[in-house]
Each structure stands twice: as C-alpha cells, then as structure tokens.
Amino acid sequence: MNDHDRDSMLAAAVRLRTEGHQEEARQRLLSLSADFPADAEVAYQTAWAHDVLGLEAEAVPFYERCLAGTGLSEEDRRGALLGLGSTYRVLGQYEKAVEVLRRGAEQFPDDGALRTFLAMALFNTGEHHEAMRLLLELLAAGSTDPYVRRYRAAIEHYARDLRETV
C-alpha cells in the first residue's frame, strides 16, 4: 500500500467516524494501523475511534504509540494528550492522567480543556487545592458572567491560596 492509498483510507475512516459509523471506522482504522504501525496520525485516529465507542482500555496503546512517534500536527498532539490523559483518568490511573495532562497543559498553556481535565485528575489524586486553583483561574479569565467579571481580580487573588486569611 502506498502513501496515497493510506491517505485515502484514513480520510474515509475519519469521515465514517464523524458521520456516526464508529464501529466501521474503528475496524478500518485497526486494519490501517496494522499496515502502518509506526504512523502517529493513524495511531491517533485509531485511539480516537476506540474512545468514542467507550473502549478506553483499547485506546490507550494507540494514544501512547501516537505520542511516542513523530508526525502529529500540533492540533492532533494536543488532542492526543487530552485523550490519553482523560482516558487514564476514566480508567482510574490518576497519577498517569496527571502526568500526561500536566505535560499537555505545559505544552499548550492556552488550552483551557487540558487544564480542566487536569483539574479533574488532580481532584482524583487528592490535590484539591491545585485543582480548585486551576478552575478558578479558568473561570476568572474566561467567564462572560458580569458578576464574575466584576470580581475577577479577587477570584484570581484567592485562587493562588484559598487558605489565605487576614
């Protein structure tokens, strides 16, 4: 199979997934992944196809493979970090989730979704203060609520240390 065939088959499988034919997409991506085991983009799409079907444990090796390889676009790398971290969290592998999501938040500091999922994983590991800090910072920075915006400076201040008193 040549690169053109690979590209066509990958595009068709992604289209199937986005059109709601997840199992057919997953089967095609498994076949494509067997033909291109070192292809990070194929591994990412295969992981995603498993995730949307609730097959999180089966998605993990594909996420790990795509992140270990090269060739992912920046947007796909961002999605893979979020996907793997979230999947680890759902599987109860909280420390791994924190590690992956923290790496994602460091690489993509503008990504509020990565920080939100990191906050959830931090909650699961008992790091409630840091989880709350992340969520308060996101709320203060992004809320359109006029009352939250009015108290943005105070929220940001207290987010740094919720235990602070006078």
Alpha carbon 69 to chain centroid distance? 17
Phi, psi angle pair for 110, to nearest 5°: -85, -5
- Number of C-alpha atoms within 13 angstroms, CB side, residue 17? 20
Alpha-carbon Rg for the chain, nearest whole angstrom, is 19
For CA atoms 119, 124, 125, 129, give the dihedral sign: positive
Q: List per-residue pLDDT tens for the chain, 166 residues long.
A: 777 889 999 999 999 999 999 999 999 999 999 999 999 999 999 999 999 999 999 999 999 999 998 899 999 999 999 999 999 999 999 999 999 999 999 999 999 999 999 999 999 999 999 999 999 999 999 999 999 999 999 999 999 988 887 7
CA-to-CA distance for 33 and 25, rounded, in angstroms?
12
